[in-house]
Amino acid sequence: MRAYERFLKYAAYPTMSDDTTGTTPSTAKQLVLAGVLAEELLALGLSDARVDEFGYVYASLPATPGVECDRIGFIAHMDTSSEASDENIRTAIVDYKGGDILLNEEKSIVMKVENYPYLSEFAGQHLIVSDGTTLIGADDKAGIAEIMTMLEQLIASGAPHGKISVAFTPDEEIGEGADHFDVTAFGADYAYTVDGGMLGELEYENFNAASAKITVHGVSIHPGSAKDKMKNAARIASEFDALLPENEIPERTEGYEGFHHLLSMKGECEMATLVYIIRDHSREKFEEKKRAFEQKAEIINRRYGEGTLELELRDSYYNMREKIEENMYIVDRAKTAMEELGIEPIIVPIRGGTDGSRLSFMGLPCPNLCTGGANFHSRFEFVSVEAMDKISDLLVRIAENVAKD
């Protein structure tokens, strides 16, 4: 079975995570796909395939008898982003010749090259898209499909290989994918997350990340008698946001530039809340951005009284570069395998994070590999059929090369 065929099957399962439930997995629907994946692993011959109490799927392929080499792992996540619907996903395969793509004639939804200039680079390929009303879940069900296909190909070929561990995690999209990951039971010396973008992307740097929740306490009173009495929490919340650097936002940054991002805003006169994420590749600049939030909170409280604004800051993960640089041979192995297959390595920093970010700090060095998709977290998400084939081959080649070293 080709990777794209598996992906189409997995895409039909809704698996959106939810950061408000306080459970692991955060949504029960992730467990449905977890069970399907465990059954598929068992059918492939990985007899230890299982779903643990937290919804993580683990399995391992024993080393070929007589082969002694590094134990490697491959990891992808099951959940999808809440930025676009995961219900009633309708996928289609487009034989892409170039130009704009009509996703939904009835609703006049078009993926336009002027909005996504890199779309033209996929001319001559077959692209899996949605009908423009949902995402397709390539982030990261494409990674799962590629790992599964790698296992099938490796077993069928009989090529010598070392022990290969695989894991499919819940809740990566809400920053909790590594919360209950059992590194010891996983049993690998290092791993690769298959959770990146376009073919050739190879990443070992990511943002340092934190979340910030702002709660503003106001005082409501009839506006006719409000002078010197009312404290409008919604307006004060807007005032706080206006104090932050206006150019340090996602839509005005790129590359190594960090940002703060307002995820949600709710407010009335009596109470308002703002939820942000804070990101920067530089640990020093990351800490500066957090201090800026604290300083702006102090400004608001001086203006409106102590306790008007409460700030909760929580670190999420750190830049895995400092851990990967101690083990750069892992990146070099992936780069060599790409070159052998005619894939041009594109080494770029992740403007985001993966499970590998935290796993690297948990003792499992874990750079990130491409999946062949783009426009993740969007109704305009797509993935290339041909790129998925090449990435499955890439994973096989990495496993084979480790056994030869």
Catalytic residues: 79, 172
CB-based contact 183:190 (threshold 8 Å)? no
Instruction: Classify residue 90 by burial, with Cβ atoms within 10 Å: 0-12, 13-18, 19+.
Output: middle
d(CA 130, CA 90): 6
Q: Give the residue from 80, 121, 5, 33 showing the smallest Cα distance to 381.
A: 80
d(CA 56, CA 53): 8
Q: β-strands 109-111, 190-194: how paired?
A: unpaired
CB-based contact 97:191 (threshold 8 Å)? no
d(CA 56, CA 236): 42
What contacts 244, CB < 8 A, 6 or more positions away?
A: 260, 292, 293, 296
d(CA 57, CA 198): 26
What contacts 129, CB < 8 A, 6 or more positions away?
A: 91, 92, 93, 94, 101, 103, 111, 136, 380, 381, 382
CB-based contact 168:75 (threshold 8 Å)? yes
